[in-house]
Amino acid sequence: MKVKPELTFDSLIDQVKSDVINWRRYLHQHPELSFHEEKTSQFVYETLQSFNGLEVSKPTKTSVMARLIGKQPGKVVAIRADMDALPIEEENTFEFTSQNSGVMHACGHDGHTAMLLGTAKTLAQLQDQIKGEVRFLFQHAEETLPGGAQEMISAGVMDNVDVVIGTHLWSPLEIGKIGVVYGPMMASMDTFTLTIHGKGGHAALPHQTIDSIAIAAQVVTNLQHIVSRNTDPLDNIVLSVTQFIGGTTFNVIPGSVQICGTTRTLDSRVRETLPELMERVIKGITDAHGATYAFHYVFGYHPVVNNEQVTRVIEDTVCEVFGNEALDMMRPNMGGEDFSAFQQKAPGTYFYVGAGNQEKGIIYPHHHPRFTVDEDALEKGVKMFIHATFKLLEQ
């Protein structure tokens, strides 16, 4: 006979609730930038070691893994949380603001880490009921390419993992809602740099120059023709030029211009065609005007594409734990997330936990100096992780 899980879990989650809030506040006060999460990872490592039954290790310099091996054999479910902060000066005024000037947890990763610690503490007490293994992945460096996920995977954290899940606290989504997306959820995130070499000279004698500014402007405009002119309009693509550097003064045509930007797609196959399509435009325009170029395209994060079966489990969990009205079937967005790296190794699903609250004034977007989350969301995240993990282990 099956034990009705809600009864046992929820009393344990109740006990861990205030720990999770305290951990989140501690982490919020001590934010660290990507690849520099030394104190954060040490705090996570020591906290995990204080729970019974976990095998805790550091797969890379600033990441942490904990394994909870059940009494019976079964599947391996991994849960991932990211831990890094951003180079932002915090403008919040509550009593646990950042103590590291110029660095802030402005994306909610402090909450992600705290929720996963709470999940680990709770599940460690339920070790007898676990068939298989739960693996807790505390990832460094989500905010910066090349990202920490790939490093952790190279260190073996995904070996033998059957399913992986993760979540983002999401301030645009009201507290109480859980956001679920089937299939593509977030975009690939690649970057490019381009230098256009012309020939500098006097602005009054442009015919004696190869005007890198005028040529670069053509390139920027024509790159936009790739979207829906060189690719299917039904494919979602963003191609943004975000930097254009050239020139020093009003009467000198510069010899070169530097451009950089990013591309986003929801489909890996479309993504792979972009460098070639871009280079065709760049080459055509620079050739036509006698300029040369250096083009460098960097593949960053894969798109986040949720597995159908795992997403079904997440959806069922939302409805069972919080009721149908909590479920928000969301659209994909063109942001990037290196949770996708874990999905390259095992089927997985990423979801959102609503963390905004108009009434409490929690309305600022992610990466804003006044960003924060409604702390009531933390318990909901822990509940999602625990209930979904048991369902996934049972499948």
Among candidate residues 258, 259, 290, 263, the one with its CA nearest the CA of residue 275: 263
Least distance to Ni ion from the beta carbon of 170, Å? Answer: 9
The verdict on whether 10 is a catalytic residue reads no
- Taken in order 150, 114, 351, 73, the sign of the CA dihedral is positive
Q: Report the amino acid identity of residue 250.
A: F
The verdict on whether 46 is a catalytic residue reads no
Nearer to Ni ion, 100 or 218 (CB): 100
In angstroms, what CA-CA distances link 138 with 59, 60, 79, 187, 308?
A: 10, 11, 9, 22, 25
Backbone φ, ψ for residue 259 (5° rounding): -130, 145
Nearer to Ni ion, 74 or 335 (CB): 335
Least distance to Ni ion from the beta carbon of 146, Å? Answer: 16
Distance CA 166, CA 347 (A): 12
Least distance to Ni ion from the beta carbon of 290, Å? Answer: 45
Could you tell me which residues come within 8 angstroms of residue 186 by beta carbon, excluding any fewer than 6 positions away?
A: 266, 303, 304, 332, 333, 334, 335, 336, 337, 340, 350
Using rule CB under 5 A, residue 373 touches Ni ion: no
C-beta neighbour count of 30 within 10 angstroms: 19
Nearer to Ni ion, 104 or 107 (CB): 107
Least distance to Ni ion from the beta carbon of 149, Å? Answer: 13
C-beta neighbour count of 198 within 10 angstroms: 25
**Among 102-110, 170-178, 240-248, 386-394, which window interacts with Ni ion (CB under 5 A)?**
102-110
Instruction: Give the tokens for residue 130.
Output: 């676990």
Distance CA 29, CA 23 (A): 10
Using rule CB under 5 A, residue 304 touches Ni ion: no
- The alpha helices in the chain, defined as continuous H runs, are 5-29, 38-49, 109-124, 148-154, 212-223, 268-288, 308-322, 339-343, 376-394
Least distance to Ni ion from the beta carbon of 36, Å? Answer: 17
Could you tell me which residues come within 8 angstroms of residue 248 by beta carbon, excluding any fewer than 6 positions away?
A: 254
Using rule CB under 5 A, residue 107 touches Ni ion: yes
Residue nearest to Ni ion (CB): 107
Q: Let me know the angle formed at the C-alpha of 241 by 237 and 243, rounded to the nearest 5 degrees.
A: 155
Point out the catalytic residue in the list 37, 84, 162, 375.
84
Least distance to Ni ion from the beta carbon of 107, Å? Answer: 4
Least distance to Ni ion from the beta carbon of 366, Å? Answer: 6
**Among 60-68, 99-107, 273-281, 320-328, which window interacts with Ni ion (CB under 5 A)?**
99-107
Nearer to Ni ion, 64 or 86 (CB): 86
Nearer to Ni ion, 136 or 339 (CB): 339
Point out the catalytic residue in the list 37, 142, 338, 379.
142
Nearer to Ni ion, 13 or 107 (CB): 107
Distance CA 381, CA 125 (A): 18
DSSP 313-356: HHHHHHHHHH-GGGEEEPPPBS---THHHHHTTS-EEEEEEEEE
Q: How many residues bind Ni ion (CB under 5 A)?
A: 1
Beta strands in 113-202 (DSSP E): 131-139, 163-174, 178-180, 183-186, 189-197, 201-202
Nearer to Ni ion, 124 or 378 (CB): 378
Nearer to Ni ion, 41 or 113 (CB): 113
Least distance to Ni ion from the beta carbon of 168, Å? Answer: 6
Name the residues that contact Ni ion, by CB under 5 A.
107
Residues marked active site are found at 84, 142
